[in-house]
Amino acid sequence: MRAALGIFCATAAYQLYGFLGQPDGMPAVSALAAYYLLPAAIALLVVADAQRRGWNNLYDFGSFVFFFWPVMAPIYLFQTRGLRAFSIIGLFLAVFFAAIVFATFMGYAASLQP
């Protein structure tokens, strides 16, 4: 649940920054942190799950997942869960797109103010 919340918040913050016209200052710093928080949350989730399952992994598996998460996370899910990986990927996509919709509504409301 915490991973889904982290993914939602990171995606919403980064998308909202883009919708607001990319302002300078603290919003830029927050957007940069959110940009790196998404792959970090996914990498931590995969590494924690691999340790919990006793899965033998590479020396620097966490960094590998961090940089190549769109490829490595689904590979790991299919290797460990088989076809049940589709449900987890579907949940990720639902959270990801819900955050984009949330940021769109928040950005639209902010764009109406003078």
pLDDT tens digits for 30-64?
888 888 999 999 999 999 989 898 887 778 888 99
Task: Determine contact, residues 37/6, Cβ cutoff 8 Å.
Answer: yes
**pLDDT surpassing 70 at residue 113:** no
Q: Count Cβ atoms within 10 A of the Cβ of residue 114 and give its class: 0-12 exposed, 13-18 middle, 19 or more buried.
A: exposed
Q: What percent of the chain has pLDDT over 70?
A: 96
Task: Determine contact, residues 92/85, Cβ cutoff 8 Å.
Answer: no
- CA 39, 94, 108 angle in degrees (round to 5)? 90
Q: Rounded mean pLDDT of the chain? A: 87
Task: Determine contact, residues 43/66, Cβ cutoff 8 Å.
Answer: yes
Domains of the chain, by residue range, sit at 2-111
